[in-house]
Structure 1
């Protein structure tokens, strides 16, 4: 006689929520009413990440389990074990790349951010923070360096110290899920505190609500902005690595290359020394920034050899 398969009983009716933090092997899920539960995923094959919309069920007043990760609009990944990638942040609608006069900004890193975002379908804005530290002469230098980007991406000069551009920034964040990215020291933490005056209270409340200590390591957190919209804070720049990018995607990630790529003689043109390369011709004619093209070549060297 064949035994009937065991059916896992439902603890409670499934609910819809959003993952707002990741603590070790568990995820903090916020229900629609705003209460937070510490949950573990039912299926190992579908790993949640901050920003995910999920179906979940409560086990008690503080814990539950994630039944299903709902379809994602966008996904950023980070390196995992064995050369694989893991989800890091989902449903991000825009990334705000933060630059500053100190430390000196790295435009190669900026281009890497942009390439990843272009391939993930995520809008990008450039924020030049600490604008109060610029003199007239240094401002001219910054304007010259960033000139190739002005026709490609919105650029906003801001200062958490003087308030320059902050109201425009808040309007940009309204009703979107945003993320700050940039080198260490460019002032992301100061911006976060300016946008979220009660940041420490929110972190403390999240930690208390999930029964975790305030100093427990978390890979990312999602905060609700007072004026509307959400902001994901994630440490490091690993999620903007080139692990999942091949040479074709790298070239497509340079927006100004796209009108030229289709005119290259060969479909597998790498835009280096290939015969009949329309991109390189565009550089020679001044239609593509030579500085951006040189950074493309440097990023191309960083790609895995299989690409």
Structure 2
């Protein structure tokens, strides 16, 4: 395949990003402590509760938290990881120990990065909470993007519609009908208001069942929800931009919080756009759970599920077995995936 030509702007961005990465690695090496055997205690188990660029906070079995370096052989340590670490006999440069190894993950949530490839955001998750809002608009296409990621990672999803206090009775009924599309195919949905507290007890009851993570576009109220659930955290909140309708990024590092009613909540940096270019068309197709009963039944093996003759998916839509909104969103995701892939800022 011929290489795509990069624009001068793309070349400048790549050069700038590489320079920043090199500077970051140099600073990390400078601040890295060369822990010797005689400086460390016995190995013990822990959980990563906060991840910074050069360090990680590890919680031990007693619930105490220690800032740790990472062994240079380790890469990709994320919040939620179960790790093996060693505490130093004394604190050095504000660091208490070192992470030696990461235990096998139950699962992981990843997102594509234009420069660094696929980046793991968090691990060992029991529930992904997809947060949407009524402003600037409820986007089922965005919800479907996240659901494809959930299905690919094999992690259960909860669809939450926030800011329902801003809805009229008629608009609330319309939102209920939209969410019914997802309830009919087995997803849990919940309409809440971080402002008034409506249905917040139902949300916290679901969060108490394990380790959850909030995902969603900026401005949908993820930080406001954290503030409501954990007032002492006082997470930053950002208003929706008056000009673009997009929220401002507010969270800067991923953290795991223990909830008073039980369970854990991972609060991760806001994601404005969740790309799917790392997934192929087959993976996206399998990410639609209601398609499963009809896959492999099309007349042609290379069916694109558009105007192909005897397409089982299209026939299922016509028979009311697949909702047309979901089917339309599926083709929009396939189309946008191809566009995202063609606009990546590196050669292929």
TM-score by length of 1: 0.85
Distance 1:37 1:266, change over 3 A: farther
Shift of 1:86: 2.1
What is the alpha-carbon distance in structure 2 between the residues aligned to residue 253 and residue 226 of structure 1? 34
Q: Which runs of 5+ in 1 are unaligned?
A: 1-7, 202-216
Q: Write out per-residue CA displacement over residues 8-45 of structure 1, whole angstroms, 9 at most, x where no aligned residue.
A: 73621111111111111211111111222222221435
**Corresponding residue for residue 168 of structure 2:** 135
Query: Aligned runs of 1:119-268 on 2, under 5 Å?
Result: 119-152=152-185, 153-200=187-234, 218-237=252-271, 240-268=274-302
The alignment of Structure 1 onto Structure 2 pairs a total of residues equal to: 285
| TM-fit CA distance, 1:80 | 4.2
2:85 to 41, 56, 61: 56
Deviation digits for residues 239-272 of structure 1 (CA, Å, limit 9, x no counterpart): 9431432111101111111111132234443323
State the partner residue of 1:118. Answer: 151
Gaps of 5+ in 2: 1-35, 236-250, 343-348
Report the counterpart of residue 27 of structure 1 in structure 2: 56
When the two chains are superposed, the root-mean-square deviation of aligned CA atoms in Å is 2.3
Residues 48-77 of structure 1 deviation map (CA, whole Å, 9 limit, x = unaligned): 101100001112344211111111111112
Match of 2:37 in 1: 9
Distance in 2, Cα, partners of 1:276 & 1:111: 25
Tell whether 2:322 aligns with 1:301: no
Does structure 2 retain, via aligned residues, the 8 Å contact 1:24–1:218?
no
TM-score (norm 2): 0.76
Note the alpha carbon deviations across 1:99-120, whole angstroms, 9 max, x for none.
Answer: 2222212211110000000110
Give the distance between the partners of 2:207 and 2:112, measured in 1 at CA: 28
2:322 counterpart residue number = 288
